[in-house]
């Protein structure tokens, strides 16, 4: 029997279950008046992009990417602050690398240069209360606050919600309504609609996102085969059949194979799937983490779409996902619900591929040539530019003779096609984000129960300082209640003792938290 049961769609949960949103370990430390550890001497002369410390200091103090360092010396007593971007080991010791201008001549061994990790909680091997332990408590308290208030101040993912189509129009006799019907969602404070599927009697019609469907015909023939997806910005992600955390397994039946593929796309933690980065990698503004496949696409296996079928949708709003492409180098992987673009190759010159007609292809994407796949970053009327091999050597193959070039383009099934339909007050559909009500104009489902299936992200857009304070104090109480950890927390001589602090924190929480509890009213 299966070790883990999955119905296809993931359960409702935080969009990023491992993100600490409501507070941080440093804010907890500030509340408890826990300062940083001691500074350590550099182990070797500093360089333009980093400083060196001993391995013992690295293990004892604890350093992580993202930690803020204060580097000072006799030559520069005020010092300079730097953020760790990478940690490596060499003959000179452990290098704490960073970026930006750095006058390393002022921070040499002869200058008695010191390195201070300004984080109060670190992952040092000799400290009982580590940053990882504090982050774990924060995650636990975030879930507790969400359950108590029946609300969320972080993004939550609803993967599959079935709702009815309501044609009731209040004040029908007094006011004109410009919509056919509505669909109230289970949650309010909607941040983004990821899918909006309308039952059409035999299948779901997608009007909320650009989609593609993958049908696994035979799992036994997929060894070494790949699916390549283009994000629309000149990058691509490769999904290859295998048995690692960054591949998908095709060792059983088509239903299990489809589920494993969906788990990989979604970076499903329950089966220990890892993030699949795009190539070349890219980041978004204000972030140092690479954007991965699960940040751009949502996948559902089997479920309502048939055995061995994976539905993939772009997380970009409605028509925004129609810049995405997908190809597969196996005839037992059928791609449907897409727009198929095809042409024939003429010649290859370096990274430029000349074809008969490239006008219907996306501006950036991936293409299939037989069983080989290439990516491109631009195009003209008859050329693909910035081309590179992804699977095999298609650039070499196309250099001799003519070959068929194909591409599957993600599409959204709006009324009248994507050229005329869209999300808007007078278009196919629109939504009251605050109340969580979808209004339908030109596109609407059959008049049947559970005729609408939707996926969306909800949660408050602004984290109130009161919620931050509540979470910080709840974490502090948890730490203070642990005898083996409280020894690191200063108590003072004339200040409030630790037991009284716990009582005062709890009283403050009890006064503030009830104000944020959502009331559910049934009529």
pLDDT for 495: 61
Q: How many angstroms separate the CA atoms of 334 and 328, rounded? A: 8
Closest of 473, 337, 481 to residue 412, by C-alpha: 337
Query: In angstroms, rounded to a whole number, what is the distance separating the alpha carbons of residues 397 and 276?
Result: 28
Structure tokens at 381: 């009327």
pLDDT in tens, 392-407: 999 999 998 899 999 9
Q: Which residue from 117, 38, 107 is spatially nearest to 74, judged by alpha carbons?
A: 107
What is the per-residue pLDDT across 205-228, written as a single tens digit (0 to 9) for each?
999 999 999 999 999 999 999 999
pLDDT of residue 523: 53
The region of weakest confidence among 253-262, 411-420, 433-442, 467-476 is 411-420
Place of tokens 């009324």: 415
Environment class of 59 (CB within 10 Å of its CB; exposed 0-12, middle 13-18, buried 19+): middle
Beta bridge partners of 318: 209
Residues counted in the chain:
523
Give the domain ranges of the chain: 40-117, 131-152+463-516, 159-207+414-446, 211-410
On the 0-12 / 13-18 / 19+ scale of CB atoms within 10 A, 468 is middle
How far is Cα 397 from Cα 394, in angstroms, rounded to an integer? 5
Instruction: Report the alpha-carbon distance of residue 370 to residue 373 in Å, rounded.
Output: 8
Instruction: Give residue 460's Cα distance to chain centre.
Output: 18
Q: What is the pTM of this model?
A: 0.84
Q: What is the rounded CA–CA span in Å between residue 134 and residue 131?
A: 5
Binning pLDDT at 50, 70 and 90, where does residue 168 land? low
How confident is the model over 306-333, as a mean pLDDT? 95
Cα dihedral across residues 91, 97, 102, 106: positive or negative: negative
CB-based contacts of 179-182 (< 8 A; 24+ apart in sequence): 179/439, 179/440, 179/441, 180/440, 180/441, 180/444, 181/439, 181/440, 181/444, 182/437, 182/438, 182/439, 182/440
Q: What is the pLDDT of residues 462-496, one digit of tens each?
A: 999 999 999 999 999 999 887 554 445 555 545 66
The CA R_g of the chain, rounded to the nearest whole Å, is 28
């Amino acid at each position: 029997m299966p070790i883990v049961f999955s119905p296809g769609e993931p359960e409702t949960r935080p969009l990023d279950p491992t993100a600490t949103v409501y507070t941080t370990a440093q804010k907890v430390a500030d509340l408890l008046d826990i300062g940083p550890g001691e500074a350590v001497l550099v182990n070797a002369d500093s360089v333009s992009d980093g400083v060196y410390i001993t391995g013992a200091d690295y293990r004892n103090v604890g350093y992580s990417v993202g930690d803020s360092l204060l580097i000072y010396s006799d030559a520069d007593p005020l010092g300079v602050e730097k953020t760790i971007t990478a940690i490596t080991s060499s003959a000179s010791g452990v290098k704490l690398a960073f970026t930006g201008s750095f006058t390393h001549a002022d921070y040499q061994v002869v200058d008695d240069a010191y390195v201070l990790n300004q984080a109060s909680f670190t992952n040092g091997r000799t400290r009982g209360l580590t940053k990882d332990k504090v982050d774990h408590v924060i995650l636990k308290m975030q879930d507790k606050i969400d359950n108590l208030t029946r609300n969320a101040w972080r993004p939550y993912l609803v993967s599959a919600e079935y709702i009815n189509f309501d044609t009731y129009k209040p004040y029908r006799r007094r006011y004109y309504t410009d919509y056919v019907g509505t669909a109230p969602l289970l949650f309010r404070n909607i941040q983004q609609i990821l899918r909006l599927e309308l039952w059409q009697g035999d299948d779901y019609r997608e009007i909320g996102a650009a989609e593609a469907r993958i049908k696994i015909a035979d799992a036994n023939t997929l060894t070494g085969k790949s699916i390549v997806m283009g994000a629309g910005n000149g990058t691509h992600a490769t999904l290859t059949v295998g048995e690692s955390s960054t591949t998908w397994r095709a060792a059983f039946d088509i239903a299990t194979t489809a589920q494993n593929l969906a788990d990989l796309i979604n970076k499903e933690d329950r089966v220990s799937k890892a993030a699949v980065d795009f190539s070349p990698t890219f980041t978004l503004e204000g972030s140092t983490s690479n954007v991965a496949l699960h940040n751009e696409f949502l996948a559902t296996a089997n479920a309502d779409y048939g055995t061995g079928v994976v539905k993939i949708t772009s997380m970009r709003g409605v028509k925004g996902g129609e810049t995405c492409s997908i190809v597969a180098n196996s005839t037992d992987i059928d791609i449907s619900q897409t727009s198929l673009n095809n042409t024939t190759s003429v010649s290859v010159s370096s990274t430029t591929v000349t074809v008969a007609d490239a006008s219907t292809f996306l501006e950036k994407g991936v293409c299939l040539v037989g069983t080989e796949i290439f990516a491109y970053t631009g195009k003209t009327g008859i050329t693909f530019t910035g081309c590179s091999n992804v699977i095999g050597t298609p650039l070499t193959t196309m250099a001799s003779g003519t070959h068929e070039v194909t591409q599957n383009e993600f599409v959204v099934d709006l009324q009248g096609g994507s050229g005329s339909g869209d999300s808007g007050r007078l278009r196919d559909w629109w939504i009251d984000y605050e109340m969580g009500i979808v209004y339908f104009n030109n596109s609407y489902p059959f008049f049947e129960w559970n005729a609408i299936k939707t996926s969306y992200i909800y949660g408050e857009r602004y984290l109130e300082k009161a919620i931050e304070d509540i979470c910080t104090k709840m974490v502090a109480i948890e730490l203070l209640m642990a005898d083996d950890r409280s020894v690191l927390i200063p108590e003072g001589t004339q200040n409030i003792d630790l037991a009284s602090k716990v009582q005062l924190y709890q009283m403050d929480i009890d006064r503030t938290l009830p104000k944020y509890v959502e009331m559910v009213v049934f009529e």
